[in-house]
Amino acid sequence: MHSDADLQMLMARYQAGDPAAAAALVNQLSPALHRFFMMQYVSRRHADDLLQETWLRIHEIRHTYRPGEPVLPWLYAIARHIRVDHYRKTTRVETRERQVEQLPEVSASRQGSAGMDLDALLRSLPEGQREVIAMLKISDMSLEEVARATQSSVGSVKQKAHRAYEKLREQLTRMGFGHIGAGGRG
């Protein structure tokens, strides 16, 4: 992973107009951002679109980043807003298109008989819990960084993570993976 000091230095150079710094940020952070979006949507196309839209927004508002502040919480707050805006827009469109039909529920844990579908397990979590898990475990952010990115308290982040872990543990047990211990807190 990349150190926050390196990210801060790249961000300062990007704000000053250095295209190499912008490219370095995109190359370093896009894979984790893409995974963050993939956890929210089944469609790779949606994740690709959200990633592109996030970088466009970051480019437009890069002047709002305050040098010396951690980069990841600032960046993920933007990504989160993009995702929420996209979700609201998509929901409005789907609601208009399917006024009579009821949206089908996603049966996440029923797919695949031999193996465990981690993406499906994660998609089964409520949005807020899935978001916290993505930031903590996939993007390797600290509790404080996740709290800042989600505009919530560290306690709230811990609570969402705990509830997500409990739900995942229950699902894995139901799927026959036995009792999964309570390790990996944090």
Residues 124 and 116: their CA atoms lie apart, in Å, by 13
The answer to whether residue 37 sits within a structural domain is yes
Asked if 93 and 120 sit in the same domain, the reply is no
Residues 74 and 133 in one domain: no
Summarize pLDDT for 120-156 with one digit per residue, the tens. 788 888 888 888 888 888 788 888 988 988 888 999 9
Q: Is 136 a member of any domain? A: yes
Which pLDDT score is estimated for 78?
95
**Domain presence at residue 106:** no
Query: What are the pLDDT digits (tens) for 6-18?
Result: 999 999 999 999 9
In a domain, 127, yes or no: yes
Q: What is the largest CA-CA distance in the chain?
A: 54
Tokens of 92: 């409005």
Considering the entire predicted model, what is its pTM?
0.57
Query: Which residues span the domain enclosing 74?
Result: 1-98
**Total of domains in the chain:** 2
Half-sphere exposure at residue 140, Cβ-oriented, CA atoms within 13 angstroms: 7
Domain termination residue (choose one: 98, 127, 157): 98
